A and B are shown apart, each in its own frame.
Chain A
């Protein structure tokens, strides 16, 4: 078991390394070197950089040296926490990203909770009461949920809230808290704003998960061990929850990691529509403006988070599946 974890860990590190090269490649992508475009950018803004400053920067970034030296210098600085300078914002990338990465995680996690909280019970109910009226209704809602793009839903809700309730539902904070430092009141404000975007973001995933859960459980319900449980005299509720549901849940553990990048990329459009302070819109802008260090840093962060997520779901899967646990001993 330990060897399995170690192997996974090493594999994760290797993946992170590949991602870092990818991020570096993004940074190298625009023609000309970074310092040139940085200076040009500054000049366009009316500021100027002395030749000394420019040379100092060239040295810092290892310009003119072989590419692996540049990569080496970059990665050392990244590991030390210096993600570089954002051209567009004229501030360190770390500062620009700031809370956004945590808010992205929070939003994704909330969407995941909503997805599971809704999809699992509904999926179970639909399977147990297969072909009932309620099953058909949930199926219909589910297909609508899969078919409607969630940004459209976001737009409709924005419009409806504004038109009929006079509310502005965008953002994750009220105006007075948006730039304020973290306080309890700000957290409370956040918890008020979080559910709606989380729900919109969760919609299509929920609809899909209902289908998956229903199909899984229908499969499991036919298995002989369910008959065994009934033959023991367990109540129907207990039989279903303890045995087939447990088995049908297993695949979900391995889905955590898979869902994360999906939620992040899914959240980009929603974040733009709803004006959410997540990394999604930032990434889009960075890519459009060729703000290479910002874009590279975001790609790197998301990649690393996904790898961590994968590792965690490996652990979870091992924890919930005794067969997997014992295979490895």
Chain B
């Protein structure tokens, strides 16, 4: 396989809070390749959004990236570690190299400016286009993401659009500077089911046409099955299992991955039976369990080792796992 566009290695992001230091991201590693979709999946609060923000360098106070590497391989030039870039250079990455689509299309737009204004801003800043040219490009982009009557819509405000259209506009805005990596942070959770499917179709389409590297964040294994080439399963700030979708769905190895897969509703399931859910609830990152963070909920816990030691990352280059069931003997 070609070299990844973006490699995240052992990323750590912390928040300083009253109850102590919250390790929201605690050693995540994964690779993203051109033209492929990496699905990042995990329960609420496991650090998916914070990972996305860490990659863009926009973690807000009191959060701070405290360790790791984020290696971007630009089209031309040598790889750069984004964590070592000066602020100005990092701003030039946001938009033209890596762009973000957010969870809540309503709250993620300002209600005081037209969507055209908000799309054109990045275009003018990064591509240096004139107001006119930027406007033309904004209309083109709206057309590309399937917004009807783009030349009229461009002058409307976000609150005048439906949720689905807003998310399309958000995607247009993210693509406005031709990024090579697109991070979509739960782009469909705020939408109804039909619209969800449409937005996912749109993302897949755009990815194929433009050869984007897509990081799709979700907590829905079904979406992963449909969209992703590779998966990173996150638990409490870590990637516990990563690998190609086919392998992980046919032979999940980490107990957490298995539990997640069991909780997908299937057409074959008996009606009116309860879906299996994962026992217990996710601990808050501020009181992470000792040893393997999943051990209090794990159904396949082996021995004291799981409680006392953290399982190291093992496995081949493409399929990696953190679990004592699969190597990492002490």
Residues of A participating in the B interface, judged by any CB pair closer than 8 Å? 223-225, 227-235, 242-243, 246-247, 250, 320-323, 326
Contact = CB atoms under 8 A, between A and B. Distances in A.
14 contacts: A224-B107, A227-B58, A230-B94, A231-B58, A231-B100, A232-B173, A233-B94, A233-B95, A234-B121, A234-B122, A243-B110, A246-B112, A322-B159, A326-B157
A247 B93 contact: no
B108 interface: yes
A231 B109 CA distance: 12
A105 B92 CA distance: 50
B159 A326 contact: yes
A322 B111 contact: yes
A233 B157 contact: no
A231 B94 contact: yes
B126 interface: yes
A247 B110 contact: yes
Given A227-B100, A228-B102, A233-B122, 9 more contacts: A224-B103, A227-B60, A228-B100, A233-B125, A234-B122, A242-B113, A243-B110, A322-B157, A326-B160
A232 B53 CA distance: 12
Contacts of B107: 223-225
> Lowest 8 CB-CB distances: which A-B pairs, in order?
A233-B94, A232-B122, A224-B107, A233-B95, A233-B91, A231-B100, A230-B58, A224-B108
Contacts, number: 74
B108 A227 contact: yes
B99 interface: yes
Nearest to A226: B60
Contacts of A234: 91, 121-122, 125
Contacts of B112: 243, 246-247, 250, 320-322
A232 B108 contact: no
A323 B111 contact: yes
A49 to B, nearest CB: 64
Binding site of A, secondary structure by majority: helix, strand, loop or mixed? helix
A227 B53 contact: yes
Contact of A225 (B92, B95, B110, B126): B110
B83 interface: no
Interface in B12-67: 53, 56, 58, 60
A243 B121 CA distance: 12
Contacts of B173: 228, 232
Contacts of B93: 233
Given A227-B102, A232-B94, A246 B121 contact: no
Contact of B159 (A232, A320, A323): A323
Contacts of B94: 230-233
A239 B16 CA distance: 24
Interface string B82-126: 000000000111111001101110011111110000100110011
Interface residues of B, number: 31
Contact of B104 (A224, A235, A320, A323): A224
Nearest to A327: B159
Contacts of B60: 227
A267 B257 CA distance: 70
Contacts of A224: 102-104, 107-108
Nearest to A231: B100
B197 to A, nearest CB: 24
Given A227-B60, A233-B122, A234-B121, A246 B91 contact: no
B109 A232 contact: no
B101 to A, nearest CB: 9
Nearest to B94: A233
Contacts of B99: 231
Nearest to A221: B60
A235 B112 CA distance: 19
From A224, A247, A321, A326, name the one whose CB has the most chain B CB atoms within 10 angstroms: A224
Contacts of B122: 232-234
A322 B60 CA distance: 28
Contacts of B91: 233-235
From A227, A235, A247, name the one whose CB has the most chain B CB atoms within 10 angstroms: A227
A231 to B, nearest CB: 4
Contact of B109 (A228, A235, A242): A228
B110 A246 contact: yes
Contacts of A250: 112
A232 B95 CA distance: 5
B125 A323 contact: no
A105 B60 CA distance: 44
A224 B106 CA distance: 9
A234 B53 CA distance: 15
A223 B108 CA distance: 8
Nearest to B52: A231
From B58, B112, B113, B160, name the one whose CB has the most chain A CB atoms within 10 angstroms: B112
Nearest to A250: B112
A243 B157 CA distance: 14
From B93, B110, B118, name the one whose CB has the most chain A CB atoms within 10 angstroms: B110
Contacts of A223: 107
Contacts of A246: 110, 112
Contacts of A230: 56, 58, 94
B125 to A, nearest CB: 6
A232 B58 contact: no
A220 to B, nearest CB: 10
A326 to B, nearest CB: 6
Given A233-B122, A233-B126, A234-B125, A228 B159 contact: no
Contact of B121 (A225, A227, A232, A326): A232
A242 B108 CA distance: 14
A243 B158 CA distance: 14
Contacts of A232: 94-95, 121-122, 125, 173
A16 to B, nearest CB: 33
A224 B103 CA distance: 9
